[in-house]
Amino acid sequence: MEKDSIKITGNKEEAREEALLRYLIEAEGLKDIFDKDFEEWSNFDAWENIGVQQWIFARALEVYRGNKIDIKCGCCEYINCLETDFKKIENQKCYGIKSAYMIEKVLGEIVLAAAKRESDGTYSV
């Protein structure tokens, strides 16, 4: 994955020309999930909203396939966060940053699954 694969943009920021622009508003119910406690929303497999899971998974696939994505959070005017700056994610308020965290988490699982398929499952990667 490239360093700048995922970028969060606030309402007053422009998206990158070379990136696919995705709006959190497209994922109806996502904000409801992120309004829960970290222990609840960080467990992707326990999400009951399949449509939102599919939205996150689709973004992870876009990155896996080499695309850059910009996520318009809709809650902030400007975002000052590096894509890998998730050290204090539990206290984060921005839905875009939470989304990027989950996309990267799912992307990691996709990469691991692909590596296991390539090794024919005969040894751990």
pLDDT bucket at 67, cuts 50 / 70 / 90: very high
In the chain, the number of structural domains is 1
Its domain, for residue 27, covers 6-118
Query: For the segment 102-114, what is each residue's pLDDT rounded down to a tens digit?
Result: 999 999 999 998 8
Higher pLDDT, 98 or 120: 98
Q: Is residue 124 part of a domain?
A: no
| 36 assigned to some structural domain | yes
Q: Is residue 125 part of a domain?
A: no
Res. 26 pLDDT band, cuts 50 70 90: very high
Q: Does 72 reside within a domain?
A: yes
Mean pLDDT of the chain: 88
Query: 76-92 pLDDT, tens per residue?
Result: 888 866 545 566 788 88
Q: What are phi and psi of 72, to 5 degrees?
A: -85, 110
Q: Is 66 within a domain?
A: yes
Sole residue written with tokens 């990027």: 100
Give one DSSP letter per residue of 84-124, joined into a string. Answer: T--TTGGG---HHHHHHHHHHHHHHHHHHHHHHHHTTTSS-
Let me know if residue 123 belongs to a domain.
no
| Distance (Å, whole) CA 60 – CA 67 | 10
pTM: 0.86
* Residue 79 confidence (pLDDT): 80
